[in-house]
Amino acid sequence: MALTYLEAIREALTRALRDDPTVFIYGQDVATFGGAFKATKNLSRDFPGRVLDAPISEDAMLGMAIGAAIEGMRPIVEMQFADFSSIAFNQIVNQAATHFWRTGVTCPLVVRLPSGGTPGSGPFHSQMMESIYAHYPGLVVLTPATVGDAYSMLLEAVALDDPVIFCEHKFLYYHLKDEALPEESLPIGKARIARMGRHATVVTYSAMVHESLRAAADLAAEGYEIEVIDLRSVKPIDSDTVLASVARTGRLLCVGESFPWGGVCAEVIARVVADGFNLLDAPPQRLNAKDTPIPYHPNLWAAHRPTAATIAESLRRLLRF
């Protein structure tokens, strides 16, 4: 029975609702309608009273979830699109993220962010927000790239006592399939080696894992073995796995779909340079989206974000150094 990334998310939501009476889902159009992407389809029928439609009030949605969480509930908030979480930014970074540290009372909630670009979605329905949220202390930021991780990491996110920003990639929702859900998985905070190699390391996450794997396959045809690391969780970040890989390959390329200024890729490189300078045979590189808003037209969009072709090109340059 093949299962999509989106179905895995729905399975995880189902199981979370079934196993924990303190879980509830809050978001726009999530109840009878089942959500903009149908992630919550049938859940309000199966769990009456626990899947609630929210007004178009991202700030208040998060505030409400925070209030419920500090009272012992485990709300899962669905943002209709990651981009709209900017309206809830204050509640996320100032209220949820600081709460445990300030008061000692935990704030266990999950914010699901349908993230990343799909052709034609334009500047306001395509953003990746992981770098922004990872910047703030007190948040866990997850970026699952596989069907299995979408499932297991969401369940783990619900069980965590900290606020979790769960960045689901919309491009993977329907395309990415797997045969079955995982019985067990790596814990949050552990990266995964998605492909072994010895000539260069690509560190990436979310949809860019798949672009990077395609690039690695292209480079294999040219005689290079590229190691691809899927960070899975960008915060906490698994620097150890990255450093161990760079120790084997001597070369590092970080690939992210978010904007190039600062962010996860910059963080990975800073860590590797600081802690593993002597491991490097070439200056570490990064490849992000371009430093403009995300274009609407598919031709422009395809050139705005990293792709297998541009990743392969960056790798060739890195290998030539």
CB of residue 94 to another protein, shortest distance in Å = 5
Rounded CA-CA distance 40/117 in Å is 21
Kindly state whether residue 162 participates in binding another protein, applying the rule CB under 8 A: yes
Q: What are phi and psi of 287, to 5 degrees?
A: -135, 120
Applying CB under 8 A, among 43, 66, 181, 200 the residue interacting with another protein is: 66
Closest distance of CB 229 from another protein, Å: 19
User: Binding of another protein at residue 100 (CB under 8 A)?
Assistant: yes
Stretch that binds another protein, among 39-47, 61-69, 127-135, 306-314 (CB under 8 A): 61-69
Which residues, numbered 224-253, are part of the site for another protein (CB under 8 A)? Answer: 236
Asked whether 212 and 202 are in contact (CB, 8 A), the reply is yes
Q: Does 98 bind another protein (CB under 8 A)?
A: yes
Q: Among residues 28, 44, 95, 288, which is the contact residue for another protein, using CB under 8 A?
A: 95
* CA separation for the pair 143, 203 (Å, rounded): 13
Q: Which residues, 6+ apart, have CB-to-CB distance to 240 below 8 Å?
A: none
CB 143 within 8 A of CB 232: yes
Active site residue 304: no
Q: Please, are residues 304 and 259 in contact by the beta-carbon 8 Å criterion?
A: no
Q: According to CB under 8 A, which residues from 252 to 291 bind another protein?
A: none
What gap in Å lies between CA 201 and CA 315, rounded to an integer? Answer: 9
From the candidates 125, 169, 210, 304, which is the catalytic residue? 125
Question: Peptide bond preceding 137: is omega within 30 degrees of 0, i.e. cis?
Answer: no
Contacts with another protein by CB under 8 A lie at 22, 24, 54-55, 57-73, 75, 87, 90-91, 94-95, 97-106, 137-140, 160-162, 189, 236
Q: Indicate which residues carry an active-site annotation.
A: 125
